[in-house]
Amino acid sequence: MKKKILVIPGDGIGQEVTSCAKAVLEQIAAEKGYTFTFDEALMGHAAIEATGDPLPAATLDKAKASDAILFGAVGHAKYDNDPTLKVRPENGLLAIRKGLGLYANLRPIVLFEELLDASSIKADVLKGTDILFFRELTGDAYFGEKIRTADYSSDLMIYHRFEVERIAVKAFEAARSRRKKLCSVDKANVLESSRLWRNVVQEVAAHYPDVETTHLFADTAAMQLIKNPRQFDVILTTNIFGDLLTDEASQIAGSMGMLASASVGDGAGFYEPVHGSAYDIAGQNKANPLAAILSAALMLDISFGMKAEANHILQAVKQVLKDGWRTGDIASAATDKSRILGTKEMGEQVLQMIRASAVSKQEQLQN
């Protein structure tokens, strides 16, 4: 098995967390005898500083030539505090989604039992939650025509039928393989784009009679995610609502540092933690690398069809958490302070668990 993987660290803590995820991929390749070839490229603020472009042509070319992309994050305080800047790190992220045809963003909200006390939500409300978000990624207000003057601004919220159909099919197929429940989230009570969204989802649903289909307005969905997250299986939603709701759902998992994501479509898959650049802690060895490591597991599963290897990583993460190891963002008042680790140390704990598991399996085979 030979695969070409492009690593785009991006900005802030991106370099730190992707380093940990890359090390995990290298360990899996070494154990299985696979050949993973890695390359690296610039995007975001780092790319603007080096080239003036948040997505240099060389980066997009490398991405198109890769089997999968491992990404860190984009963003910097410089742009957050000056909305007049037209060249922004986030433009690179939007451009690579368009360039690679990445129209479906998958965000699993998986609750690790060991982190029930890390969330601000009551444990008895959270326990048993397992949600898979399908967020449409290349339409909506993020990509519609934009107008801005000194006294007026506008972002057109645009959807075409084919954009809704293709992600709806992916979401229904996923629901069919899970608990056979799908909730579509929109604002069809006030938005024409959402009315088209709901109509198309209803049409696609007719081809999946075995899947229980419901619809919620985005504001109601936001409330229900906190009130009763266990009711959801697959959530299908638009670009902007998906952006907001998945960040809210991060509190179910205890921290954004635990959430992996996969963006897929016509080309190479794009795998990233959802936590952002967190430039305020960049370079301080404080970031949680588990979301990036779990994103690498998604890469193995979705892009490479290596389900066993992906599960190997997932089980290693679970065991590390079970053993009480934490980064600061997922530590609670009850956490043993000697078990709170930095970025590199947490990454090493996962690596050690993967190695130990491999040795154990080899010993079992020999016996």
Catalytic residue list:
142, 187, 219, 243, 247
Residues paired with residue 6 on neighbouring β-strands, in sequence order: 39, 69
**Run of H or E including 184:** strand 181-186
Three-class SS state of 235: strand
Long-range contacts of 317-326 (CB under 8 A, 24+ apart): 317/112, 317/290, 317/293, 317/350, 317/353, 318/112, 318/114, 319/353, 319/357, 320/346, 320/349, 320/350, 320/353, 321/112, 321/114, 321/115, 322/114, 323/349, 325/349
- How do strand 68-73 and strand 2-10 relate by DSSP bridges? parallel
CB of 218 closer than 8 Å to CB of 75: no
For 127, other C-beta atoms within 10 Å of its C-beta total 12
Q: Crossing angle, helix 290-298 and helix 343-366, to 10 degrees?
A: 50
Q: State how far the Cα of 267 lies from the Cα of 65, in Å rounded to an integer.
A: 9
* 244 closest CA partner among 328, 140, 127, 120: 140
* 102 closest CA partner among 12, 43, 48, 167: 167
* 105 closest CA partner among 62, 129, 137, 130: 137
What angle (nearest 5°) sits at the alpha carbon of residue 29, between those of residues 28 and 30? 90
The tokens 């809210």 sit on which residue?
248
- Return the DSSP state at 238: -
